[in-house]
């Protein structure tokens, strides 16, 4: 990676880190100016994150979504972008303290733990030379961003719900949005993310047929993508059919995002398969 790429990456890393600290500070102070500054810092992070991906695409000569480094850049971008849109629409800035740190942690993994050779742009192998790969990863990027937000909403719900149950709604719990607001936020984000994940799996199957001659091979990443899809399908089915809301829904939202993370980290680094390069 050259100087320009490193600069853009670390500017993105710093922006999401600073925004995380500002949002955490907002939890304690409830200072609206702090929340507003944090929002604009995230927006700056999205801009430089976009520039980092664009520069990688220019240097590599391909859409930069083909290896772990590039996908984590896109994943963090998706989380931050979805957060900006959701915050702009619903005006619940305290959620930033639970969502933006996820984007920062993904980049922290890149900065601290990812080997240098994994970050270098290389010519695409034949299996990756398909537009279906682009559609496949773009839908994952936005879907995973929505699921990250629903995860944060689920964590907040459990904190608030437990405090109310114990009749100790003080400190952090007292500053969180109402249970109904958190439940609705989590549901709306999953309602956005689920069709995107469905498209991700469909485009992935079409790409697999192009690359390997079959739509489905029960590769570990395919299997875990299906498991993730089933978790969110159960969430939506249980909500519509049995009226599951509140704590049960929050727990499913958390389990779903843990499955998302395992689909990337667990499969890519601990299991072997056709997607091991990703």
Q: Tens of pLDDT along the chain (278 residues)?
A: 788 999 999 999 999 999 999 999 999 999 999 999 999 999 999 999 999 999 998 888 878 877 889 989 999 999 999 999 999 999 999 999 999 999 999 999 999 988 887 788 777 676 667 778 888 889 999 999 999 999 999 999 999 999 999 988 888 999 999 999 999 999 999 999 999 999 999 998 898 888 777 888 888 888 999 999 999 999 999 999 988 899 999 999 999 999 999 988 877 666 655 555 45
- Supply the angle between the helices 32-60 and 68-90 in degrees, to the nearest 10: 150
The domain total for the chain is 2
HEC profile of 6-55? HHHHHHHHHHHHHHHHHHHHHHHHCCHHHHHHHHHHHHHHHHHHHHHHHH
**129 is a domain residue:** no
Q: Both 77 and 189 in a single domain?
A: no
pTM of the shown model: 0.92
Residue that finishes a domain, picked among 76, 97, 124: 124
Q: Both 71 and 205 in a single domain?
A: no
Q: Both 278 and 154 in a single domain?
A: yes
**58 is a domain residue:** yes
Q: Which domain holds residue 99?
A: 1-124
SS3 94: helix
Q: Both 141 and 246 in a single domain?
A: yes
**50 is a domain residue:** yes
Give the residue ranges of DSSP H helices in 91-216. 96-112, 131-165, 172-175, 179-212
Taken as a whole, the chain contains a residue count of 278
Q: Both 232 and 174 in a single domain?
A: yes
- Supply the angle between the helices 3-29 and 96-112 in degrees, to the nearest 10: 150
């Amino acid at each position: 990676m050259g100087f320009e790429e490193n600069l853009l990456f670390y500017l993105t890393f710093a922006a999401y880190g600073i925004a995380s600290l500002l949002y955490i500070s907002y939890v304690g102070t409830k200072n609206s100016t702090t929340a507003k500054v944090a929002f604009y810092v995230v927006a700056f992070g999205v801009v430089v994150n976009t520039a980092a991906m664009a520069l990688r695409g220019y240097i590599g000569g391909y859409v930069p979504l083909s290896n772990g480094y590039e996908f984590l850049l896109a994943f963090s971008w998706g989380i931050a972008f979805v957060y900006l849109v959701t915050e702009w629409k619903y005006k619940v800035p305290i959620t930033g303290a639970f969502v933006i740190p996820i984007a920062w942690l993904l980049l922290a993994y890149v900065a601290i733990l990812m080997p240098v050779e994994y970050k270098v742009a290389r010519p695409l192998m034949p299996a990756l030379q398909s537009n279906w790969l682009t559609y496949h990863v773009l839908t994952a990027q936005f879907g995973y961003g929505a699921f990250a937000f629903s995860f944060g909403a689920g964590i907040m719900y459990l904190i608030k719900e437990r405090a109310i149950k114990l009749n100790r709604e003080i400190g952090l719990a007292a500053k969180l949005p109402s249970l109904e607001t958190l439940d609705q936020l989590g549901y709306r984000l999953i309602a956005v993310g689920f069709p995107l994940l469905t498209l991700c799996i469909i485009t992935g199957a079409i790409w697999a047929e192009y690359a390997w001659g079959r739509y489905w091979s029960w590769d570990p990443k395919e299997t875990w993508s299906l498991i993730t899809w089933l978790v969110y399908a159960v969430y939506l089915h249980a909500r519509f059919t049995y009226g599951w809301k509140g704590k049960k829904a929050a727990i499913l939202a958390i389990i779903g995002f843990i499955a998302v993370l395992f689909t990337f980290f667990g499969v890519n680094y601990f299991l072997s398969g056709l997607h091991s390069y990703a």
